[in-house]
Amino acid sequence: MERAADFRRRQEQLEELAVEYFVAADAVDGINEDAEARIQKIRDEQAAAIAEAEAEAQAIIGRMLDTKVTRDEVAERLGIPVREVKRSKAKAEPDAESGDAETATTPTDADESGEQVDAHESYAA
């Protein structure tokens, strides 16, 4: 009789442990799902921040080109390949064509210091 009672207690203990295991396993799944959701949110924020910073960098390159320096000079000053400057200018041009007042500039014959500049200055291709 005592053996049967021991067997029954052991079976109940094993069932309780199995239930505890499944609760713990479900918790692991929940933790992983939560972590994946947070990781995705961080990746989305990262992508948005990168896009914003890249757009700002492109705009700065465009502003440098608007000062009537050559693409070669802009590339040299920034330590980037000239092809990056060309891409930046190409991206900025559609904005200017769409009539965006902030990106469109009007050429003048005087720079900010009031000195006359050569209106026929050549630009590197």
Q: So where are the chain's domains?
A: 2-97
* pTM greater than 0.85 (yes/no): no
Mean pLDDT of the chain: 80
C-alpha span between 70 and 76 (Å, rounded): 10
Residue 17 has pLDDT above 50, yes or no: yes
Categorize the per-residue pLDDT at 38 as very low, low, confident or very high, splitting at 50, 70 and 90.
Answer: very high
* Mean pLDDT of the region 25-37: 97
Per-residue pLDDT at 117:
44
DSSP letter string, the chain: -HHHHHHHHHHHHHHHHHHHHHHHHHHHHHHHHHHHHHHHHHHHHHHHHHHHHHHHHHHHHHHHHHTT--HHHHHHHHT--HHHHHHHHHHHHHHHHTT-TTT-----SB-TTS-B--TT-----
Q: Where residue 1 falls among pLDDT bands split at 50, 70, 90?
A: confident
Rounded Cα gap, residues 64 and 56, in angstroms: 12
Instruction: Report pLDDT digits (tens) over 71-114.
Output: 999 999 999 999 988 766 666 555 555 444 444 444 444 444 44
